[in-house]
């Protein structure tokens, strides 16, 4: 199969960004943000050159992290659950450092977030209703 059989070529630039056709695809990574100074930290970059670090609350588990940011005299401590991490488009300098400003690491746009296409509560209620009809409480027949 030829590399261009689909009409586009895919490859990696020295910057580490993916190139598809003529488009430069952004480097999207999950980040934790210091609540005091707004510096954003890549999950896998700890320890950081500015003295800050991000550690999992349980070794080997990626469900929750604690960020120790050295933006103040005493470290600013914040806890991050995996679902609270921010998806950011990372610039090369910020990627190389492992952290950066909101300008260097803007939030990535996502078309998949937002409202569910259906009401989950209604689906659960309907499912429970079907279960009740299949298995009525003892002494009652439908």
pTM of the model: 0.61
CA distance 3 to 109: 30
DSSP bridge pairs for 80:
65
Q: What is the pLDDT of residue 117?
A: 46
Are 80 and 56 in contact, with CB atoms under 8 Å apart?
no
Decide if pLDDT at 21 tops 90: no
> How long, in residues, is the chain?
142
């Amino acid at each position: 199969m030829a590399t261009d059989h689909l009409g586009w070529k895919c490859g990696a630039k020295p910057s580490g960004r993916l190139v598809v056709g003529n488009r430069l695809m952004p480097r999207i990574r999950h980040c934790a943000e210091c609540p005091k100074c707004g510096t954003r930290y890549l999950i896998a970059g700890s320890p950081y050159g500015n003295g800050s670090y991000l550690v999992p609350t349980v070794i080997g588990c990626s469900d929750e992290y604690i960020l120790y940011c050295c933006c103040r005299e005493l470290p600013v401590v914040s806890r991050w659950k995996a679902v609270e991490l921010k998806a950011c488009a990372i610039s090369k300098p910020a990627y190389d450092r492992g952290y950066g400003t909101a300008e260097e690491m803007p939030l990535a746009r996502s078309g998949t977030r937002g409202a569910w296409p259906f009401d989950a509560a209604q689906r659960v209620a309907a499912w429970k209703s079907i279960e009740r009809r299949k298995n009525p409480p003892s002494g009652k027949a439908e």
